[in-house]
Amino acid sequence: MFSILKLEFLKNFMKEDFSPLEKQIKIKFKNIQLIHNAFVHRSYLNEHKDYNGGSNERLEFLGDAVLEFIVSQYLYETFPDKEEGVLTAYRSALVCSKSLSKISKELDFGKYLLLSKGEEQSGGRTRPYILGNTFEAVLGAIYLDQGLENAKGFVHKFLLPELEEIIANQEYKDPKSELQELTQEKVNVTPHYDVLDEKGPDHNKWFQVGVFINKKRIGIGEGKSKQIAEQIAAKDALTTWPGTID
């Protein structure tokens, strides 16, 4: 039986108006609780013990799998002459935190997030890692509420258009290999990578990694794994080359 205090808390929690978002993505949720839950960051639970629900991590887990399937099917059907390695590179570039967070920013997902005060003050509403995870959580909510076809529609409309630019700019290429070749050619040094920060439980880690030439940091990246963060750090270094070496 809920206390009066808990009932009041839940009313306040559910009063967030998601109709502008529903209109923007052209989806009317049958179960509004699902889209609410997609924006509950785990840090929020630490300060709101009265919230009778979990974070968005389960929806993120589901959305990650749904996203990989939708993108994989699209790439398989769209590029019949491309080998598996190229398709994997396309997919990795498309579903990385950078791409997902870009779409989340365009859809203004950050304003709907429920965060702890600390996460809020540290810029959590614009953090690529959090926004990327939120995109996956929203997709998980769409899949549960609307089914696979509407989930596909969401991905095809908002994310897949990014692929043209990714291919045109060759963003799918392995930036670590490119950076290593460049540094060995220009300064005869192999870059090394160090973890600068690490957060989250074992099943949902977040890493911040720096890439260094000798002791000078030339790039920084964030991601769900060290490998992803290293790739983003290498790409960051390549965008500022050669100024970062001088």
Q: One of 119, 136, 145, 222 is an active-site residue; which one? A: 136
What is the Cα–Cα distance from 11 to 170, expressed in whole angstroms? 48
Calculate the CA 148 to chain-centre distance: 20
3 state DSSP class of 152: helix
Classify residue 120 by burial, with Cβ atoms within 10 Å: 0-12, 13-18, 19+. Answer: middle
Domains and CATH numbers, the chain: 4-168 (1.10.1520.10), 175-240 (3.30.160.20)
Is 136 annotated among the ligand-binding residues? yes
Active site residue 136: yes
Task: Report how far apart, in Å, the C-alpha atoms of 58 and of each of 39, 46, 137, 193 are.
Answer: 12, 17, 8, 31
* pLDDT value at residue 11: 45
Token reading at 55: 């974070």
* pLDDT value at residue 92: 86
**Contact indicator for 93, 223 with CB cutoff of 8 Å:** no
What does the pLDDT profile of the chain (246 residues) look like in tens digits? 334 434 444 444 455 689 999 999 999 999 999 999 999 999 999 888 777 788 999 999 999 999 999 999 999 999 999 999 889 889 988 998 889 999 999 999 999 999 999 899 989 899 998 999 999 999 999 999 999 999 999 999 999 999 999 999 888 888 888 888 888 888 889 999 999 999 888 777 889 999 999 889 999 999 888 988 998 999 899 888 765 555
Is 230 annotated among the ligand-binding residues? no
* pLDDT value at residue 106: 96
Active site residue 197: no
Q: One of 64, 119, 145, 236 is an active-site residue; which one? A: 64
